[in-house]
Amino acid sequence: MSNIDRQELKRQVIKFYNENIEKGKAYTVNHFKNLGETQSCIYHYIRQAENGETPSASCRAALAESTNHTSRGRVSKVHVQAKSALPNDINLHPRGDQLLATCRQRCGAIYSKFQDHDWILDNKCMFTYRCNQGSKYRFHYTFEGDTRPQPVIYEEDLVPRLVVWIAFSKQGICQPFIQSVDEKFSARVFYEKCLRGRLLPFVKQYHDVKRTVVWTDASSVTSNKRVFDCLESEGIKYVSKDDNPGNRVRCCSYFWTMLKNAVYDNNWIAENDQDLERRIQHCLSKIDLRNVMRLAADTENRIYEMYHTGEIKTFSDQKQKYTH
């Protein structure tokens, strides 16, 4: 989830909780869980609401209001600065140490349990009409002669339009699932379209089932009893939710960096959802599979390094080889 999405979710949770405070916390939690959000995240924002924090304005306000338009065909640039989501006076060291200890403990557990296995990693990511994240694309452009209405052009282009789910391993990439954000990416959709429709055929066709581990995202949509029961019935090993050390050890963000660098190369902009989907499919067909396979093959090394040192030195130092 991007920083913009976190801020927007935080605003919605605090606003909804304050409006329905007499119904209790469970009412707010159940409301947003039905929308696919994680319970721990909802409770975190509720605690902030109880501490007196008020919902701020939506982070998805139109950017064009701050754009300096030109009248001679030149390109104008707007720098979108990142905003910290935490107060400056908060002390994060005790919580950070606890999370690191838990992460290392879980890495040790799954390393000893799944040593010398092939790892399959899955993840989903939001795509917009024009790139809105990554240091390579910090500037957004507008050109004279653009007939689309202002200022909503920037707001529309930077709001997520498609959700893309994909799984990959050192054997390659499975068939992606692409869906409009207007349709809810629910646990049922993941189970039917992603797990049974794409992931299981990918495992059975290209992997030794007895030596393969599926490591799903820790969210309730992708890590739940129905998903794990299905994997067990097929004889496929998996990382349980209690053993999952989190996305810090996974390499999915590097995969999405490679794909988004290809999709938004030369400041490419989509005209509609179909145009964006075609572009994503084309870039996936052209992506360098050797880099993807290296990412997946390095999973066991990252788990080992996190367990023994608390850092992922080798992977971090070699980050450029994956993203270039």
Q: Is residue 198 one of the residues assigned to a domain?
A: yes
122 and 224 housed in the same domain: yes
Mean pLDDT for the stretch of residues 227-243: 94
Number of domains in the chain: 2
Is 170 within the bounds of a domain? yes
Residue 199 lies in a domain: yes
pLDDT digits (tens, 9 = 90+) for 166-222: 999 999 999 999 999 989 999 999 999 999 999 999 999 999 999 999 999 888 899
> Are residues 104 and 32 located together in one domain of the fold?
no
Same domain for 114 and 14: no
Q: Is residue 114 helix, strand or coil?
A: coil
pLDDT over threshold 50, residue 1: yes
Contacts of 84 by beta carbon, 8 Å cutoff, 6+ apart? none
pLDDT in tens, 71-113: 333 333 333 333 334 444 444 445 467 778 888 999 999 999 9
134: left (phi over 0), alpha (psi -120 to 50) or beta: left
Q: Which of 31, 50, 69 lies at the terminal end of a domain, its last residue?
A: 50
- In this prediction, residue 59 has a pLDDT band, given cuts at 50, 70 and 90, of very low
Q: Are residues 285 and 175 both part of a single domain?
A: yes
Please give the pLDDT value at position 96.
64
Looking at the fold, whether 125 and 198 belong to one and the same domain comes out as yes
Q: Which residues pair with 78 in a beta bridge?
A: 140
Q: Which residues contact 53 (CB under 8 A, 6 or more apart)?
A: 14
Classified as helix, coil or strand, 78 is strand
**Do residues 40 and 176 share a domain?**
no
* Same domain, residue pair 7 and 116: no
Backbone torsions φ then ψ of 120, nearest 5 degrees: -115, 120
Q: Which positions ≥6 away from 111 have C-beta within 8 Å?
A: 300, 303, 304, 307
Q: Decide if 225 contacts 195 (C-beta within 8 A).
A: no
Instruction: CATH number of the domain at 297, please.
Output: 3.30.420.10
> Is 311 within the bounds of a domain?
yes
Q: Is the pLDDT of residue 63 over 50?
A: no
pLDDT in tens, 18-58: 888 888 888 888 888 777 778 888 888 888 888 777 655 44
**Are 158 and 236 part of one and the same domain?**
yes
Domain that holds residue 39: 3-50
